[in-house]
Each structure stands twice: as C-alpha cells, then as structure tokens.
Amino acid sequence: MSNQTIESLEKRVQELESQIEDYQKQLIHAQKMSSVGALASSITHEFNNILTTVINYAKLGLRHKEEERREKAFTKILSAGQRAAKITTGMLSYARGNEGRQEPVDLQLLVKSVIALVEKDLSMNRVNLHTHFESNPEVVLNPNQIQQVLVNLIVNARQAMPSGGRIDLAVRINPESNMAEVIVRDSGAGIPSEQLQHIFDQFYTTKEADENGQGGTGLGLSLAKEVMEAHKGRIRVESAVGKGTAFTLKFPLSTAAIEAA
C-alpha cells in the first residue's frame, strides 16, 4: 500500500471521527430538548402561579395602608420572586452548552438545582419527592452534563409511575469505594430482568413515545452511561418487577474532598 493511499485513509478516518463527534453532540442536544419539553408545561404553570401571587399581594399592599398587612404583602412578593429566580437560574444552567470543561462542584447543590426544575412537574403528576442528603461531597464534573443525566433519570422515573408514586433522591459518600453517589429510586413497576441487561444500549427503549413525543427515543440511558464514563464514574441500576427501580451515579471524589474525609 502506497504512502499516498495510507494518507488518504488516515484523512478519511479523521473525517469520519469528526462526523461521529458532531452526531454525538446532536444526540445530546436532542435528548436535552426532549427533557425540556417534558418539563415545559409544569414550569410554565409554576411561573403562572408565581405571577398570580406577585400581582395579588401587590394589590393587597397598595390597597391597605396598615404596616402589618403591607409587610406581609412584601414578604410574599419577595418569596415568590426568589422562587422564580431559583427556577430561572436552574433553567439557564441547564441550557448552557455541553462543553467538556469539568470543575469542582458541590454535588448536593447541583442536585438541588435539578430539584428546582422538576419538583413542580412531579407534583402535577402526583409523585412525592423525598430527599436524603447524607453529605455534600465535592466532585470534579461538568455541571450541565450531570444535570441533564439527573433530569433524564427523574423524568424517566416519573413516566414509570403514570398513576403517581414516590421518588427518593439521595446524595452520599461511600467510604468503602471512596466515591460520591447520587441515587434516584422510584416506586414504579420495575424492569424485567430480560430488559434490564439492554437498557444502556443505544436506541433500546422499554416504552413508546407519547403524543408529545416524550419517551421512547432510547437515547437517555446510553448517553448517561457515556457521560458517567467520561467523568471516570459509573452508573448502576437495580430493579425488581412490582417494587421499582434505582439508578446510582458514582463519582470519584475530588482531591480536596478525599483529603478532608
């Protein structure tokens, strides 16, 4: 084989690798848009409630001159504004690009930013969220990518409980493995063992897309696995039919966190 042929093949390989990288970015963006679509209705509803609260208490403050009632109105308006800011901050963070930059992050705070995005959606779908923050480990990660993984897992859990149920969300440090863990556990129908071994395969799905096109793409879990591997972490799943499913994200602790332990 001539040098010219080898150079041509190497150039073609580089072109294909670049195309694969572009397709990967498109898949990640498509999955993110799917998650945003699943949350859009509940977030819009929440902002409508916030605006109603602000307007009503502004009217109350203007109508009444008593200091006590005016202070109550201002307090309610401030609380509603802070709630709106919390949601907006979460959405802006979630909407950022998927650049590969990783940084030290308080894992508990990151999980709380995700909760701000999903809690109204869960409430509207009769899903009770219970949090268990055993620690606040520092982990080096890409916040946007891990937010996306968590949102996908929580939306999947909610969709697995169409009649409502419970999600337990935990953050902890596993001293045996020296890793931080985030656990998303639902009380849904569970996944049969013959399907469980395939759920991280690309385009494999156990559900059909609904009328809004949500669910059924088979992208979320395969991308979650790739993201976790890029963070030198792991994603594990446990499930039993009739008892629910639990996903565990495992992250290596940052050097600072290890030294502080």
Closest Cα to residue 145, out of 250, 32, 254? 32
Q: What is the pLDDT along the chain (261 residues), one digit of tens a residue?
A: 666 666 676 666 676 766 666 665 666 665 666 666 667 777 777 788 788 888 888 888 888 778 888 888 888 888 888 888 877 776 666 666 555 678 899 999 999 988 988 888 898 899 999 999 988 899 999 888 898 889 889 988 998 899 999 999 999 998 888 899 999 999 998 988 888 888 877 665 665 555 444 455 556 787 888 889 888 999 999 998 988 999 999 999 876 555 555
What pLDDT is attached to residue 211?
Answer: 47
What pLDDT is attached to residue 30?
Answer: 58
Q: Are 258 and 177 in contact (CB under 8 A)?
A: no
Which two three-digit tokens encode residue 147? 């937010």
- Spatial separation of the C-alpha atoms in residues 127 and 154, rounded to whole Å: 11
Closest Cα to residue 229, out of 106, 145, 135? 145
β 127-133/165-174 pair status? parallel
Classify each residue of 239-261 as buried b or exposed e, where b means 16 or more C-beta atoms within 10 Å of its C-beta.
Answer: beeeebbbbbbbbbbbeebeeee
Closest Cα to residue 25, out of 111, 145, 126? 145
What pLDDT is attached to residue 246?
Answer: 95
3-state secondary structure of 251: strand
Map tokens 């109550």 to a residue: 72
Q: Are 153 and 247 in contact (CB under 8 A)?
A: yes
For helices 220-230 and 3-63, angle between their N-to-C axes, nearest 10 degrees:
100
Domain annotation for the chain: domains and CATH numbers: 3-90 (no CATH), 103-259 (3.30.565.10)
How many secondary structure helices (H) and strands (E) does the chain include?
A: 7, 7
Classify each residue of 154-189 as buried b or exposed e, where b means 16 or more C-beta atoms within 10 Å of its C-beta.
Answer: bbbbbbbbeeebbbbbbbbbeeeeebbbbbbbbbbb
Closest Cα to residue 84, out of 120, 49, 50, 44? 50
Q: Are 231 and 102 in contact (CB under 8 A)?
A: yes
- Spatial separation of the C-alpha atoms in residues 220 and 218, rounded to whole Å: 6
